[in-house]
Structures are given as structure tokens and as C-alpha cells.
Amino acid sequence: MLGKLNHVAIAVPDLARATALYRDTLGARVSAPQALPGHGVTVVFVELDNTKVELLEPLGTDSPIAAFLARNPDGGMHHLCYEVEDIIVARDRLKADGARILGDGEPKIGAHGKPVLFLHPKDFAGTLVELEQV
């Protein structure tokens, strides 16, 4: 069911500072910031040869990232994103196996313009998992 690792997401308290660190200190290619109001975050992608690193900061007061940063004020690894061929088939199989889908269980459009779902971290070794349809 799983395809390749699409990205590792890191929540940061200051996106401009984190972007500068990756771009200027580490010499990485970093995308322009993209606000995603439906997800409550602003993101940039650090482009690597084999995957991406997503840096995300809260957008708005009800951002789901705000609570994470309250517990981890310096930021930290937030989730892993894996690619799947068909997100509905993957969702239905996971639900049948007892996995919990966050939100209303329906895919939303993510930062890459593709459908995404999030899986409950308690069902996946304490790690928030995002699935993205390729």
C-alpha cells in the first residue's frame, strides 16, 4: 500500500528563521512560503534529491500546530508523509483494520495540490502519519 516517503514535517515556531537556517546555513533549496488556511499552517519545502523536508508554522489561533509547539517550544518532528496510489482504497483498508483517520475521514487537498489524510499517532507507534495520493 505505501509508496515512497514524500516528506518529513518539522513544526517550527519561526518559519523565516528555519527557512534561513536550511537555505543559508545548510545550502538547501527551499520553496517559497505557502499558506494553507484549511490546514492551519504556513509551509515551505526543503527540496532534497531523495525526498523533502516540510517546515510548518501555525497559521491562525486555532492551528493544530500551536498545541504541538506549546509542548515543544523549539519545534520538532511533527509527521511523516507517505505516498499511496489511491487514498480512498488506502483509507477504507486502514479503517477496516481498525486504524483511526483524523478529522472527518474525508481527504483534504494538501500543499502539493493532492488529496491527503492523517492517521492517529496512537495507531502508528506514536507517529502522526500523513498519506498523500500520487
By annotation, the residues acting in catalysis are: 130
* Cβ atoms of 108 and 101 closer than 8 Å: no
Quote the cell numbers at residue 79.
509527521
* Cβ atoms of 58 and 73 closer than 8 Å: no
Quote the cell numbers at residue 103.
478529522
Half-sphere exposure of 10 (CA within 13 A, CB side): 16
